[in-house]
Amino acid sequence: MHFAIHGYMDNCDAHQTIEKLFSWPQRLIPKLGSRENVRLLAKSTLAESMLIESLSDFMRKLNDEDDALVVVEGVRDAKALRNAGFAGSIFMLCHNSNVTKLEGTASRFKKIILLLDNDSEGRKLAARTQRILRGRARLDTYYQRELLPASKGKIRHIEELETYADKLAHHV
């Protein structure tokens, strides 16, 4: 039980854990309080476990990309990606002028993965980058589109991966 509350579990384990929690006599769970508190804790643990598992899958897929360059907006994005377990090559745009520098770097990779923030600035930068690199590099926006669903709507800015970095680094 200790593992299920403090670690991560798959859906099957989580549902079994919830069933076990409900079968516990009230005297065994004094610190948790009512059965309703136990239910809420189990539900919260399940949700977090599913989120970490989803983000771990996302990071594994990203790490499995061969000869790819991941493009992020800035230093905090790159740091969060590294801390979350990403081991590949990263290019930081930082300023709009770096899009032209990306042209030279892009030629050394099979694929350029755009992983920019899901906000208006990130979308503008993605459109500009795609316009400049179109026909010069193989661009991939799959991960940019998939981060929001993979994070269950919790991550709109790449730097927000930092919130889950410790947990993800152990999973990836």
Residue 10 confidence (pLDDT): 45
The pLDDT value given to residue 1: 34
pLDDT of residue 31: 56
User: Which of the four CATH numbers 3.40.309.10, 1.10.3720.10, 3.40.50.300, 3.40.1360.10 does domain 60-171 have?
Assistant: 3.40.1360.10
**Pair 112, 69: CB distance under 8 Å:** yes
Give the residue ranges of the chain where pLDDT is below 50: 1-12, 15
Residue 26's pLDDT is 52
Per-residue pLDDT at 23? 55
Distance CA 89, CA 82 (A): 10
Q: Are 89 and 65 in contact (CB under 8 A)?
A: no
pLDDT at 82: 94
pLDDT for res 39: 64
Separation CA 56–CA 64 (nearest Å):
12
Per-residue pLDDT at 166: 85
- Start-end of H helices in the chain: 2-6, 11-23, 35-63, 75-83, 98-106, 120-133, 142-150, 165-171
Please, what is the Cα angle at 53 between 4 and 24, to 5 degrees? 20
Domain boundaries, given as residue ranges, for the chain: 2-56, 60-171
Run of H or E residues at 89: strand 89-92
> Cα separations (Å) of 94 from 14, 41, 90?
41, 41, 12
